[in-house]
Amino acid sequence: DVKVTQSSRYLVKRTGEKVFLECVQDMDHENMFWYRQDPGLGLRLIYFSYDVKMKEKGDIPEGYSVSREKKERFSLILESASTNQTSMYLCASREQGGIQETQYFGPGTRLLVL
């Protein structure tokens, strides 16, 4: 089974802090994604990466950056956390191409910015 893990389940940070959210997958998937989930808004794509060293902006990249130095690890960075970044953050991975198409999600990190 595919396993996607996220470094923290719950995180509390102060406004202005730099925040790192880590995601690791163990299935050698090329594609990885970061979403945020907010009530009534569903999932919104922040950034994605189709391969190591590659990154692309999603629908709401403002205030975020990412790093993909190794294939299995995709990090989301909040350069200066703000209260409007309080949310549930979900990481996902997917095999490149083919008929599979399925994204596999981690358990999520619930971030509270005070």
Binding site for other proteins (CB under 8 A): 4, 9, 33, 35, 40-45, 48, 56, 58-59, 90, 92, 99, 101-108, 110
Question: Measured from the CB of residue 7, what is the shortest distance to other proteins in angstroms?
Answer: 14
DSSP strand pairing (56-57 vs 104-105): unpaired
Question: Measured from the CB of residue 82, what is the shortest distance to other proteins in angstroms?
Answer: 23
Q: Could you give the 3-state DSSP secondary structure of residue 85?
A: helix
Measured from the CB atom, the residue of 9 and 18 that comes closer to other proteins is 9
Question: Measured from the CB of residue 16, what is the shortest distance to other proteins in angstroms?
Answer: 27
Measured from the CB atom, the residue of 24 and 90 that comes closer to other proteins is 90
Long-range contacts of the stretch 2-6 (C-beta < 8 A, 24+): 2/26, 2/27, 2/29, 2/93, 2/104, 3/27, 4/91, 4/92, 4/93, 4/104, 4/105, 4/106, 5/106, 5/107, 6/89, 6/91, 6/106, 6/107, 6/108, 6/109
Measured from the CB atom, the residue of 58 and 63 that comes closer to other proteins is 58
Question: Measured from the CB of residue 28, what is the shortest distance to other proteins in angstroms?
Answer: 18
Measured from the CB atom, the residue of 92 and 111 that comes closer to other proteins is 92
